[in-house]
Amino acid sequence: MDVKAGTLDRGEISEQSQWDLSGLYSSNEEWNKDLEALEGDIPKYDSYRDTLSQSFVKLKECLEFDMNFSRRLEKLYTFAHLKNDEDKTNSFYQGNFEKSMRLLNEAGKASSFIRPEIMAIPKEKIDQFLEEKEIEFYRFHLEQILRYREHTLTDKEEQLLAASGEISRTARGTFDMLDNADLQLGEIEDENGEPFPLTHGNFQSLMQNYDRRIRKDAFHNYYKAYESHRFTYSTLLSSSVKKDLFYSRARNYSGYRAKALFSENINEGVYDNLIESVHQNLKPLYKYFELRKRLLGLDNLHVYDCSVPLVKNIKWHMPYEDAVEKIKKALKPLGTEYVELMSNGLLQDRWTDRYENKGKRSGAYSSGCYDSNPFILMNFTEDNINSVYTLAHEAGHSMHSFYSRRNQPYLYSDYTIFVAEVASTFNESLLTKFFLSQDIDRDMKIYLLCREIDNFRGTLFRQTMFAEFEHRVYEIAENNQPLTVETFQEIYKGLLELYFGPGLVLDDCLSLECFRIPHFYFSFYVYKYATGISAAYALADRVLSGGEKELGDYLNFLKSGGSKYPIDLLKDAGVDMNSPEPINTALLKFSVLVDELEILTSKN
């Protein structure tokens, strides 16, 4: 299929190129029938209120009702959001999506008493309940809830904290509006001297422009906008930090980082190991910047020179079906069953909505529910190698979900964010290894090496720098020191100097970057990107250098869903994230890639 992106109506896309959602609902009437049934069942939650401590029978009945209701609701929501994403201009499916969101909110309110009631059951009584054979299935689920006991307050205090939820999102919501709606980034002159509007959407593309004047102008204009609003951004970020500290102190955590890591039972040492390991392995990153400077023929290297492709005019053309075949070959080390299940899903079973059409949601994702196949939204283009990588990435997510749902009961079928990017990044690493093993020209090898290096740079090094920034900021706030514009920029500038090294010229305005990162309003989240890529490469090395046991361990990890805490799941697969070893394995891989690039470009 070779058409200009976005020019086709949905009806013009072949049926085989669209995902098949009939396994969820065969008609809108069937969906509406389930909607009405779920709406009718919401009041049934009230029959369990104030009963959970009476007997393990009552507790078990409530848990079963909640689990079955959630499973049905998940199916309803999945169909609604997938249909809505097919064409955002379709008001019918937009309406259904809004109905499903309203139902999700209503169900959340109706079931909100369950966790507090469970935690209010006296320890002696809940221990007796857990001895009952009939409730054994729920043991891990209950243990996850009961962990929060010491951080749960009285009913009245909990009600007050719950009521504060909406205002607690003020800083994040204001940042979103300022950054995405009100911030004016201005214009630059294009190659022809014509005015060209600067946006968040085209900023990264401009950083890849071969005209250095355009890159420089875009960079400085972009940060000039942040300079003019730096006091507002600083106040918003400071308010977000103070909000977090209020909740961590109210719930008796030792600090907000401890609170953030508590939900997935992650030891704070994992965070510290990540930062320390990266600190000890920055020289290969400095070396890469020196290589960039030499290959671009520059006297000095700025940050706006760090995204320009080192080779020009890479020609690429690969239809979707061919991309699947390449991915099949790349993932051969994962075994026949994995490869056949994946390829059948991507081709015959229509897991994937392949191409862009008018109104379709941009980007890519893997979705689905317990009672469906995994589904992949793509906007595949045949002339862009990134489409092949994106497909392999989303196929990794989908196969993780497929194995998990096939092998775990509904209650334990979801895996946490800490491990969510492992399977997808694993697939990308095998794809690069496969492409580099083929008979390709020197420019393509350079392109692939740089793509892998830059993926490490953006995911492992950059996200660790962000994680260290968060940790330092929260330490200052927890010591009751003020968070001012100068404080934020001073911390960030110091980290830029550490992570970029002496070979890079740091423009003064770059310290404003800390004000434009939306993830800082989802505190202590970014480190998971760095640990995820580290775990993925460590597991990939283990599988490729091992035998049936190592492969079996990895596939069992995919099958395990959320049946254990994420650290334990990865340990079973052969990677101990409590140790710095997986981080060091990934950092060594980065160093080897830089050395390979140096050898390949030594004649430039």
Catalytic residues: 394
Cα separation, 423 vs 532, in Å, equals 9
CA 381 to chain CA mean position, Å = 23
The answer to whether the beta carbons of residues 198 and 185 sit under 8 Å apart is: yes
Q: How far is CA 17 from CA 321, 351, 355, 372, 389, in A?
A: 10, 9, 7, 18, 18
Place of tokens 């939204």: 377
Main-chain phi, psi angles of 94, to 5 degrees: -65, -40
CB atoms within 10 A of CB 515: 25
The phi-psi region of residue 524 (left if phi > 0; otherwise alpha if psi is between -120 and 50; otherwise beta) is left
CA 10 to chain CA mean position, Å = 28
Enter the tokens of residue 78.
């999945």
Cα separation, 374 vs 399, in Å, equals 8
Q: How far is CA 486 from CA 97, 178, 223, 315, 475, in A?
A: 44, 21, 16, 46, 16
Amino acid at position 453, single letter: I
Place of tokens 């404003």: 512
Instruction: Write down how long the chain is.
Output: 604
The answer to whether the beta carbons of residues 225 and 183 sit under 8 Å apart is: yes
Place of tokens 């003019």: 228
Cα separation, 66 vs 61, in Å, equals 9
**Which residue(s) pair with 301 in the sheet?**
504
Cα separation, 230 vs 515, in Å, equals 7
What's the half-sphere exposure (Cβ side, CA atoms, 13 Å) at 70? 16
Cα separation, 328 vs 349, in Å, equals 16
User: What are the contacts of 123-127 at 24+ separation with CB within 8 A?
Assistant: 125/53
Q: Which residues contact 155 (CB under 8 A, 6 or more apart)?
A: 116
Amino acid at position 335, single letter: G
Single out the residue of 435, 456, 462 nearest to residue 592, CA to CA: 456
Single out the residue of 29, 74, 37 nearest to residue 82, CA to CA: 74
Single out the residue of 230, 202, 241, 234 nearest to residue 218, CA to CA: 202
Cα separation, 81 vs 525, in Å, equals 25
Question: What distance, in Å, lies between the first and last C-alpha atoms of the chain?
Answer: 38
What's the half-sphere exposure (Cβ side, CA atoms, 13 Å) at 293? 15
Single out the residue of 275, 207, 279 nearest to residue 501, CA to CA: 279
